[in-house]
Chains A and B, each alone.
Chain A
Amino acid sequence: MKVNLVYTRLRTEERMIADALRARGVTVETHSDAGMVLPLDRERWGDGAPVLMRSMSFTRSRYLASILEVKGSRVLNSAHAIATCGDKALTTLALAAKDVPMPWSFLGFEEQAVVDEVDRRGYPSVTKPVLGSWGRMVARMDSKSAAEGLMSMRFEMGGAQDHVALVQQYIDKPGYDLRVYVMGKAVGGIRRRSEHWITNTARGAMPERYDVPPSHAKLAELAAQAVGGDILAVDLLETRDGQVMVNEINHCVEFARSIEVTQIPLPELMADYVLGVLR
């Protein structure tokens, strides 16, 4: 049994996943995405073994998964799941199609039209880039002047692909958000606590143990089904009055900052899931 592991950088996560696979008797061949140059045809890639896509780059992982699927490889996560989860607008749309509870949101393409709609909905609200991660460029708009400033920057800078404004309801969280790991079914989760309203561990939020209740597990599984992924991290927002909604879904699950605290054996769980696919 063999797995091709595609990576951008061999981080703690990739090493641990590879070790867990090898401990189960799986041969792991690693491939740096920087060196991959693939013909755009249906010719099988290598031995056709399943591919575990661990590229950190959304651009590279989306294209590589798409190419490898045409070549007949089983890719985890699929190109469709990567393309959907890597784009917050498409993620939200996939969730909407399945009536998954989430904050209200809208998409706009012109500065004044977006400011007008933000103003109509009221403050605060949140704007984030459709492509991006680790909490970068996520901003809270507390007033019309903030909305005008942020939208001016959004539409004055970058290229056409940047001139898309995603605006989302601001959720007054009780000092944390939740992340549920889903591999077919929910396998565990973490609570990310922060005094800041942005609760990415990449931005300093502290991971805590969190025993996923059945209602949260069911919601996360529904969200995972909506985007069609194999190995995902579903971010949930809890309101102060106990409502739970889906915020985002991550297709290249990171855990280096949290595994020591939470003790969820994610590398082993991932390896078991991949083993199930191999069989």
Chain B
Amino acid sequence: MQPQKLDSVGVNECPTCAAPITGDRFQVGEVVTCGGCSAELEVVGLAPLRFAEAPEVEEDWGE
């Protein structure tokens, strides 16, 4: 089955360059680097494995 794109979320792939990303030990919220384009990605779902571009900052983030 072809992976589907949902609102800039990649399913089993990088939402930026579409490089395939597979694995079964991810956690929601984990930040990974795409091996294809080096984009910082955040795991936003596990079944199916979904990735979104990781936001660099939110209003109340930080130490």
Instruction: Choose, from A45-53, A95-103, A114-122, A250-258, the stretch at the interface.
Output: A250-258
Q: Which of A10, A30, A59, A133 contacts B63 (CB 8 A)?
A: A133
Q: How many cross-chain pairs have Cβ atoms below 8 Å apart between A and B?
A: 51
The count of residues in chain A whose C-beta lies closer than 8 Å to any C-beta of chain B is 25
- Find out whether the CB atom of A57 lies under 8 angstroms from the CB atom of B29: no
Q: Is B27 an interface residue (CB 8 A)?
A: yes
At the interface with chain A, which of B3-11, B15-23, B52-60? B52-60
Decide: A252 and B29 in contact? CB cutoff 8 A.
no
Instruction: Determine if A34 and B63 form an interchain contact, defined as CB atoms under 8 angstroms apart.
Output: no
Bound-complex Cα distance A30 to B29 (A): 10
Q: Is the CB of A32 within 8 A of B27?
A: yes
Contacts of A7 in B (CB 8 A): 29
Cβ of B29 and Cβ of A58 under 8 Å apart?
Answer: no
Chain A nearest Cβ from B11, distance in angstroms: 19
A11 part of interface (Cβ distance < 8 Å) = yes
Main secondary structure of the interface of B (DSSP, over half): loop
Residue from B28, B54, B60, B63 in contact with A32 in the complex, judged by beta carbons closer than 8 Å: B28
**Would A57 and B30 be within 8 Å (CB), given that A133-B63, A251-B63, A252-B63 are in contact?**
no
Q: Which residues of A contact B31 (CB under 8 A)?
A: 9-11
- The answer on a CB contact under 8 Å between B29 and A253 is no
Q: Is the CB of A32 within 8 A of B29?
A: yes
Is B30's CB under 8 angstroms from A58's CB?
A: no
Q: In the complex, A252→B61 CA distance in Å?
A: 10
Q: Is A109 an interface residue (CB 8 A)?
A: no
- Does B62 interact with chain A (Cβ within 8 Å)? yes
Cα A59 to Cα B58 with chains together (Å): 11
Interface membership of B13, Cβ < 8 A: no
Tell me the bound Cα distance from A57 to B29 in angstroms: 13
Asked whether, in the complex, the Cβ of A253 is within 8 Å of the Cβ of B63, the reply is yes
Tell me if A76 is interfacial: C-beta within 8 Å of chain B. no
Query: Smallest CB–CB gap between B49 and chain A, Å?
Result: 15
Interface check A35, CB cutoff 8 A = yes
A8 within 8 A of B: yes
Name the B residues within 8 Å of A10 (CB-CB): 27, 29-31
**Closest 3 pairs between A and B when the two form their complex, measured CB to CB:** A133-B62, A250-B63, A10-B30
Q: 12 A-B Cβ contacts within 8 A? A: A9-B29, A10-B29, A56-B61, A57-B60, A58-B60, A131-B60, A132-B59, A132-B60, A134-B61, A136-B62, A253-B63, A254-B63
